[in-house]
Structure 1
Amino acid sequence: MTEYHADDYGLFPEQSRHIIDCYHTGALNGISIMPNSPYLSACMDEIKDIKDKLLITAHLNFVEGKPITGSNASRLTNAAGNFDIGFLKLLIISYIPVIRLFYKKQLATEIKAQLKACEPYMNNGEFRIDGHVHYHMIPVVFDALMDVLGAEDYKVSYIRFPKEVLGVYLKAFGKVKDIKPINVVKSLILNVLSARNERKYGEELRRMGVKSKLFMGVMLSGHMFYENVMACLPYLGDVLADKGESEVELLFHPGDVSVPEDIKCLTSKDDYEFLTSANREKEAKALKKLGSNLKR
């Protein structure tokens, strides 16, 4: 099964409508929902008639907006109370004894609150989990997540491990036009972090019944355009065949933030640049074209 997935559902109403339109007119069959968004409940009400047809995932967020736990997440926020802790900073903190414990405690408290916010919307009473900008792969964050999952005895069917098969892009070299050097670095880092988390928690995850699947979406992050995806799919299919697997998650970001009032509410500079980019519309068009292909 191919999962055509969109992150960031529920961030804003209009932005979320742009995402779900890719289900009605395209290939979209999975969404990740923003736990700390004040619009989450209203946005989920908008899709209550099709919710069971979508793979819904809790999108743990330490980047955009305010934490659910407020001042209890003070190490993760700025003076305005908005999330403001960089990926690299948390990665470094992950390997600093004692200090990491203070951050891990606040992360665990916020993760518990975010999972609780998403719980009513999980299908079949089972959690699927990933993270905004893949923060959930940072060791101190993943360790905190595993502590919460163990303590709360949640049923979890899936956790995204954003491991790119780099050979796919080598084979598609010359056909893919939008691989940026920063995305190569991100892919390498996330591959290493994914391997670390699987190595440390593999047995526990298997015991919990947690599955992962092949993944594509970091190397072309921001540029999951139709032509790029189609150039890679044959080689990705070869990898699936070689591994004897049948499931892959393709990650898109079709939810552009275009309403002026919503744009003003974005708290992350990186999210501002990413979510207001015209590339969001191009990724939406990719999902719609892929949907047309599936209907043939």
Structure 2
Amino acid sequence: MAFRSISTRLSLYGMVGIVAAAVHYGVLIALRWAMPIWLANPLAFLAASLTGYLGHARFTFRPETGGARFARRWLVVQYAINLTVCGLLPLALPAATLATLIGTNASIAVLDTIFVFTPTVLNALIWSRAARFSQRRRSHGQRPRLHADDLGLSQATNEAILGLIEAGQLDGASLLVNGPETRPALERWHQLATLKPNQQLCLHLCLTEGPSSAPCDAVPDLVNNHGHFNLSFGQWLLLSLLPRRHRRRRLVTTQLRLEISAQIQRFRQLCGSDAIALDGHQHIHLVPLIHDTLLSLAAEQRITWMRSTAEPLPTGLPLRCWWDAIRGAGLLKWSVLQLLSAKASRRQRRQGIASNSSFAGVLFTGQMSGAPLQACWLELCSRKLPDDRLQTPAQLLVHPGGPLECDLEESGFAVSAPFASSPWRQREWRAIQQLMQTTGTAN
């Protein structure tokens, strides 16, 4: 049975390969009359790659794909690798040198064999990897934890988050201890805690807007004349580039320790928590200077969990979604946070601080509804269950809300005001409800 399976797959692979070669040849013949051969050949090869991409997914690797196409990224990978290899091989194996060593006829035979079989082997490896990738995505390893940020930011945000919690459609939330509506949010949260005892409440560390928790005269370099934070994410990142002994960095670090400790203390007073699970407003906790300070306080303040934003790229999305991610700077944010999160995760593990095993919510931040929300949910569902005590289930981040009833700028949250007042907050709220109803995974 195993032999028959292997022989069938090899036969299908060969047939698809023959069809792809025929397409390559046919398109090349057709195009060479209209354009130079150096341009016609890559275009013909692209047509052949597309044929192999569809054919291998539909026939050769059908058990893994279920007949669905591979993720588009594999077509890009296959095409780029093959073009690169085909361009470099003649340079790496000059015919004249080889002819001198083994003779002209032998060198021609060797080169032809290498030029033909190298792409064949590469393609077999690439499409096999693509098939395994598709198979993993079709499996369901875990249910992601649906998590909302900015609890306490506004009455509308509180209503959306707590309404979803009450309906069993959220698994947790992150609290702004310096938010304008923090106390009303906590009153309702404590009421729901008796009915929903397993909901996770995290400290949403805020250092870029809103009032400080420490006395203003204790953190003068972090706040403005109104007592509101005045350093942006970018400015915190630039401070992280200063040498550790730089006077400015040491001064800010001392004040930062006071502010972080004050926010943790306030969180404990409000929530009664001992161990602290922590993330950051605008993911500020991942900035190296701030993350270093958090790690230095971890044992003293009992910080046991911090969010990772290591986000896999979802598949099956329309191209317009990717364009929106580029245009809205989501892809740029994703790239920066991928780098920061990779460094932070390694350091956290060394200190025994847990984190989520996977994540989604940065790439399409602020627009998590429709296709992006569905794709991110499916991507995280395909991830394996964590088997490490320092890894918790994957986290899908959302920002539900409603029409604002207050002026956030007066409260010092000018950065969040446009985001919180966007119609997307209500769309995300409805999208979460629809997702939970569709998947039947409300808790």
Asked whether the 8 Å contact 1:13–1:39 carries over to 2, the reply is yes
Indicate which of 305, 309, 329 corresponds to 1:162: 309
Q: Percent identity?
A: 24
Asked whether the 8 Å contact 1:217–1:224 carries over to 2, the reply is yes
Alignment of 1:38-53 (within 5 A): 39-51=181-193, 52-53=197-198
**Of Structure 1 and Structure 2, which has the larger fraction of its residues in helix?**
2
Cα-Cα RMSD: 2.5
Indicate which of 374, 385, 390 corresponds to 1:230: 374
* Matched residue SS, 2:325: coil
5+ long unaligned stretches in structure 2: 1-142
Q: Which residue of 1 aligns with 2:159?
A: 17
Distance in 2 between residues matched to 1:67 and 1:84, nearest whole Å? 10
* Matched residue SS, 1:96: coil
Asked if 1:60 corresponds to 2:60, the answer is no
Q: Which residue of 2 aligns with 1:119?
A: 268
* Matched residue SS, 1:180: helix
Asked if 1:219 corresponds to 2:348, the answer is no
Structure 2 length normalisation: TM-score?
A: 0.60
Per-residue displacement from partner, 1:116-145 (whole Å, max 9, x unpaired)?
Answer: 111245587332100000000000011111
Distance in 1 between residues matched to 2:392 and 2:225, nearest whole Å? 47
The AA in structure 2 aligned to 1:148 is: L
Asked if 1:147 corresponds to 2:296, the answer is yes
Distance in 1 between residues matched to 2:362 and 2:350, nearest whole Å? 26
The structure-2 alpha-carbon separation of the partners of 1:81 and 1:120, relative to structure 1 and needing over 3 Å to count, comes to closer
Asked whether the 8 Å contact 1:12–1:262 carries over to 2, the reply is no
* Matched residue SS, 1:47: helix
Per-residue displacement from partner, 1:202-245 (whole Å, max 9, x unpaired)?
Answer: 211x2x5x23321000001010013321133333333x149878
Indicate which of 378, 389, 410 corresponds to 1:265: 410
Distance in 2 between residues matched to 1:242 and 1:34, nearest whole Å? 30
Q: Name whichever of 133-142 and 30-39 sits farther off.
A: 30-39
Distance in 2 between residues matched to 1:252 and 1:15, nearest whole Å? 11
Asked whether the 8 Å contact 1:91–1:140 carries over to 2, the reply is yes
The structure-2 alpha-carbon separation of the partners of 1:26 and 1:175, relative to structure 1 and needing over 3 Å to count, comes to farther
The structure-2 alpha-carbon separation of the partners of 1:37 and 1:232, relative to structure 1 and needing over 3 Å to count, comes to closer
Distance in 2 between residues matched to 1:122 and 1:80, nearest whole Å? 27
Asked whether the 8 Å contact 1:105–1:144 carries over to 2, the reply is no
Q: Displaced runs of 4+ in structure 1, greater than 4 A?
A: 120-124, 242-246
Asked whether the 8 Å contact 2:357–2:386 carries over to 1, the reply is no
Structure 1 length normalisation: TM-score?
A: 0.87
Indicate which of 418, 424, 427 corresponds to 1:282: 427
Asked whether the 8 Å contact 1:10–1:40 carries over to 2, the reply is yes
Q: Which residue of 2 aligns with 1:77?
A: 223
Q: Which residue of 2 aligns with 1:3?
A: 145
* Matched residue SS, 2:415: helix
Q: Which residue of 2 aligns with 1:253?
A: 399
Asked whether the 8 Å contact 1:164–1:215 carries over to 2, the reply is yes
Shift of 1:263: 3.6
Distance in 1 between residues matched to 2:271 and 2:395, nearest whole Å? 18
Tell which has more relative contact order, 1 or 2 (C-alpha 8 A, sep 6+). 1
The AA in structure 2 aligned to 1:229 is: L
The structure-2 alpha-carbon separation of the partners of 1:203 and 1:122, relative to structure 1 and needing over 3 Å to count, comes to farther
Shift of 1:272: 1.2
Asked whether the 8 Å contact 2:152–2:175 carries over to 1, the reply is yes
Larger radius of gyration: 2
Per-residue displacement from partner, 1:137-174 (whole Å, max 9, x unpaired)?
Answer: 0000111111222333x152x210111113x25x5353
Indicate which of 317, 322, 344 corresponds to 1:197: 344
